[in-house]
């Protein structure tokens, strides 16, 4: 694509700064170029499931919030990914970031696609709606209106090619309730309902990767008991809503052991082995990276390419601070009602 670099640069400028007709035409052109070159929006759902079943080797998938100088930053990301032979990376933008940077989903997909094309990167394009988050203050004032706004954004993201969506209703957790289930109830019920909303609208042959949150940055660290309460309630609610793929698959859905048992077994195994691995871990890992990096990366890339055949067509992030400072909120504030 290097010989097309000037054309791609011009298309990006039109896709961002042009008239409405110029934007629409440039975004369509970039989308079609991506389809032909093998740079297509994709869901990471099946790759994550394969990783959970142990069918691919361990790896980390970086999720990068590209929100400033997005074309240049995206080019740097895809240039590095190509040089490192990396297989799975996520480019994402949160609801709050969409608001204060004025980058709507269609623009974001066009810019990330063009950045990949410009650097000659090919493979699945994992673009994620990060922290599609309920504003607790607005929800307390008018739940229906806030959920309507959230659903409108989700539809806009799906239409643009966001096939990975992080549903964040954790702002509705109420730590004043007497037990974990009650604390997480509004969180898991709204998360399940939004999962249903996504499943009813996702493209044919695409299972959107849906994420959820159990707590917010600041105030209190979340723990495994809260995770367990959330997942139990989420699963019950989603089952009541119908037959929908959730954010995990339990025994009976795919023939593998339940997530809680799998996680507990992994924690026990890794905890027992940690002391044995400590000595020499840093130098040993450095040597492994030097000698085996490209082989491991190629195996991961093969797995990622397998995901690409399905569609064809993350939490440690910045504190959300939804939209602007006057809309800050914490997990325990949901029951307080609107600010005076």
Whether the Cβ atoms of residue 139 and residue 334 lie closer than 8 Å to each other: yes
Q: Based on the number of CB atoms within 10 Å of its own CB, is 335 exposed (0-12), middle (13-18) or buried (19 or more)?
A: middle
> What single-letter DSSP state applies at residue 204?
T
Which pLDDT does position 151 carry in this prediction?
97
Backbone angles phi, psi at 120, to 5 degrees: 75, 20
Which pLDDT does position 243 carry in this prediction?
86
For the chain, give every domain's residue range.
2-334
Which pLDDT does position 209 carry in this prediction?
96
Q: Which residues, in sequence order, are CB contacts of 299 under 8 Å at separation 6+?
A: 56, 57, 87
Q: Quick one: tokens of 327? A: 């809309």
Which pLDDT does position 279 carry in this prediction?
36
The predicted-structure confidence for 50-86, as pLDDT tens digits, reads as follows 988 899 888 889 999 999 999 999 999 999 999 998 8
Whether the Cβ atoms of residue 216 and residue 320 lie closer than 8 Å to each other: yes
In Å, how far from its chain's centre is CA 326? 26
Which regions of the chain are under pLDDT 70?
Answer: 1-3, 248-340
Q: Considering only CA atoms, which of 183, 212, 180 is closest in space to residue 195?
A: 212
Whether the Cβ atoms of residue 186 and residue 175 lie closer than 8 Å to each other: no
Query: Which CATH code fits 2-334?
Result: 3.20.20
Which pLDDT does position 155 carry in this prediction?
97
Which pLDDT does position 337 carry in this prediction?
45
Which pLDDT does position 245 carry in this prediction?
84
The predicted-structure confidence for 166-224, as pLDDT tens digits, reads as follows 999 999 999 999 999 999 999 999 999 999 999 999 999 999 999 999 987 777 788 89
Q: Quick one: tokens of 121? A: 């990167």
Q: Quick one: tokens of 338? A: 């609107």
């Amino acid at each position: 694509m290097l010989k097309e670099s000037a054309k791609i640069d011009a298309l990006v400028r039109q896709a961002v700064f042009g008239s409405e007709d110029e934007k629409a035409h440039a975004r369509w052109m970039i989308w079609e170029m991506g389809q032909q070159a093998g740079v297509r929006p994709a869901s990471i759902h099946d790759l994550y499931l394969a990783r959970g079943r142990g069918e691919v080797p361990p790896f980390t998938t970086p999720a990068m919030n590209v929100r400033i100088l997005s074309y240049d930053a995206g080019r740097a990301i895809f240039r590095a990914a190509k040089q490192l032979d990396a297989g799975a990376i996520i480019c994402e933008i949160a609801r709050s970031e969409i608001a204060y940077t004025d980058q709507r989903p269609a623009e974001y997909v066009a810019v990330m696609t063009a950045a990949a094309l410009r650097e000659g990167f090919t493979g699945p394009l994992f673009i994620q709606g990060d922290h599609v988050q309920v504003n607790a203050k607005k929800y307390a004032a008018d739940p229906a209106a806030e959920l309507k706004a959230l659903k409108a954004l989700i539809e806009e993201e799906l239409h643009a090619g966001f096939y990975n969506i992080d549903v964040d209703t954790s702002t509705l957790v109420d730590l004043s309730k007497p037990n974990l289930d009650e604390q997480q109830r509004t969180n898991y019920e709204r998360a399940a309902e939004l999962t249903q909303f996504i499943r009813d609208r996702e493209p044919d042959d695409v299972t959107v990767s849906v994420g959820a949150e159990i707590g917010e940055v600041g105030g209190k660290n979340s723990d495994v008991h809260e995770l367990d309460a959330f997942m139990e309630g989420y699963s019950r609610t989603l089952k009541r809503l119908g037959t929908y793929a959730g954010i995990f698959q339990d025994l009976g859905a795919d023939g593998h052991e339940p997530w809680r048992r799998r996680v507990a077994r992994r924690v026990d195994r890794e905890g027992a082995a940690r002391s044995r691995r400590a000595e020499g871990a840093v130098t040993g890992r450095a040597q492994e990276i030097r000698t085996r990096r490209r082989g491991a990366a190629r195996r991961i890339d093969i797995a990622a390419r397998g995901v690409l055949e399905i569609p064809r067509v993350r939490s440690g992030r910045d504190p959300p601070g939804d939209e602007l400072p006057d809309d800050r909120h914490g997990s325990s504030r949901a029951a307080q009602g609107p600010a005076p």
